[in-house]
């Protein structure tokens, strides 16, 4: 696991042994999550009223539940400030990923997004599985190519191998195979284990807690703490995200590699964050 060649949080390279496990061939889709919500009546984190205890000192009067939505900028901006392309959107949830007026028409086979860690774990339990650990996820993503930079080898993504940003971030995206935003699961080639979207499309939750063993700040293409946008406190548990997303661009976030990792607070939900399930073999 890990890499010495890219970001500090990926170091050091370590050898890890995992027990045999099963992992889904693709991320959970909107169709699958809708079946779960209909069967259980589950209400996601982004749909629940905001708890003032979670936002000390913030003025929550009139603030509706919601989540973060990516919004391209008109042109080049300072890439050190993620707040220029992320906005808190009241009413945004997995049902309306970009907020009121948006929906899931034509997106049944796209990965579900705007799901928190608790949402992903609840679905996994309902489906008879669990979330993969970071080690399991990375082993699966490598597809048998131990030590390779990407899930397919050493060649950079040219827009045909995975759904990652094509163009100049965060204002111009020509789309990988024409897809801007999420793409249907299976729209890009699988890795050596027959697994789809282990690279790009959406970041994916793992069950592993983020630790400072490989200390680093959050990857700013993933806000790190979505509710901080409305004044939430920062001392909240974080989990490891893997895989990168359709927002990863080489000049800004080269994290669409098996070794790459990013921290995310458990209550975060965004337009580029999903999950897949695993199980003991």
What is the edge-to-edge ordering of all strands in the sheet holding 262-265?
262-265, 238-242, 203-209, 273-274
Residues with pLDDT less than 50, the chain:
214-218, 220, 225-233
Give the pLDDT score at 63. Answer: 73
Give the pLDDT score at 56. Answer: 72
Global pTM value: 0.91
Give the pLDDT score at 106. Answer: 97
Task: Kindly calculate the radius of gyration of the chain based on its CA atoms and give it in whole angstroms.
Answer: 18
Strand partners, 239: 209, 264
Place of tokens 């100049």: 168
Peptide bond preceding 170: is omega within 30 degrees of 0, i.e. cis? yes
């Amino acid at each position: 696991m890990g890499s010495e060649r890219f970001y500090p949080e990926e170091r050091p390279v370590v050898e890890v042994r995992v027990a045999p496990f099963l992992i889904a061939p693709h991320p959970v889709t909107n169709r699958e999550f809708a079946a779960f919500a209909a069967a259980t009546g589950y209400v996601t984190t982004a749909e629940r009223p905001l708890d003032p205890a979670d936002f000390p000192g913030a003025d929550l009067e009139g603030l509706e539940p919601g989540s973060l939505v990516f919004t391209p900028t008109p042109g080049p901006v300072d890439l050190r400030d993620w707040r220029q392309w992320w906005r808190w959107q009241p009413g945004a949830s997995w049902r309306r990923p970009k907020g009121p007026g948006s929906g899931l028409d034509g997106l049944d086979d796209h990965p579900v997004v705007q799901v928190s860690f608790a949402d992903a774990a609840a679905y996994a339990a309902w489906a008879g599985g669990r979330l993969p650990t970071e080690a399991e996820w990375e082993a699966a993503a490598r597809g048998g190519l131990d030590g390779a930079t990407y899930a397919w080898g050493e060649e950079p993504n040219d827009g045909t191998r995975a759904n990652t940003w094509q163009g100049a971030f965060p204002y111009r995206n020509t789309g990988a195979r024409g897809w801007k935003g999420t793409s249907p699961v299976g729209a890009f080639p699988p890795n050596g284990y027959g697994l789809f979207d282990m690279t790009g499309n959406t970041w994916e939750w793992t069950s592993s807690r983020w630790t400072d063993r490989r200390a680093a700040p959050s990857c700013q293409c993933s806000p790190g703490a979505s509710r901080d946008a409305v004044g939430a406190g920062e001392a909240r548990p974080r989990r490891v995200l893997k895989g990168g997303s359709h927002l990863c661009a080489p000049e800004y976030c080269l994290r669409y590699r098996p070794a790459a990792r990013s921290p995310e607070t458990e209550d975060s939900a965004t337009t580029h964050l999903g999950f897949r399930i695993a199980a003991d073999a």
